[in-house]
Amino acid sequence: MNLLNKDLGNCLHNGWSSLESNFFWSESRYASIILPIKSKKKKIGIQFIVEPFLQPGKVFEQNLELFINGIYCYGKSFNKVEQEIIFLEVDSSLLFSSSLKIDFIFPNSVSPALLGLSNDERRLGFKLFEINII
């Protein structure tokens, strides 16, 4: 299942912007997604296509931590302004309901206003372009 634009927007729970061009911004230090799961296979994969908010000379690194149903499953620091693919393998032990709650933590997100770039007060961490369930 591939989630883009409106379909992806329907899964965003909190901490995300409205659709901007072809992505959603994370708008605070925390954001979440409620992802419907139809398959009860032994394992599924979830692929996120993201891009960190970085500004040369001001923001050199964005950190991301991911939790699925409250369990830590991923952490990484990003230092290039480019689309990245994050792949998570989800064990069947987490597939106990018809959906997964995926929490995103952006510990060093920052607002463009704080950086003097614009009047935008949102704490930007990452753009979210797409989710694929494999």
Predicted structure pTM score: 0.89
What pLDDT does residue 40 have?
Answer: 63
Q: Is 30 exposed, middle or buried (0-12, 13-18, 19+ CB in 10 A)?
A: middle
How is the chain split into domains, by residue range?
2-44+65-119
Give me the pLDDT at residue 41, please. Answer: 63
pLDDT given at position 87: 95
Over its length of 134 residues, how does the chain's per-residue pLDDT go in tens digits? 555 566 777 888 899 999 898 999 999 999 999 988 776 666 788 999 999 999 888 888 999 999 999 999 999 999 999 999 999 988 777 777 778 899 999 999 999 999 999 999 999 999 999 998 88
Distance, CA of 50 to CA of 21 (rounded, Å): 14
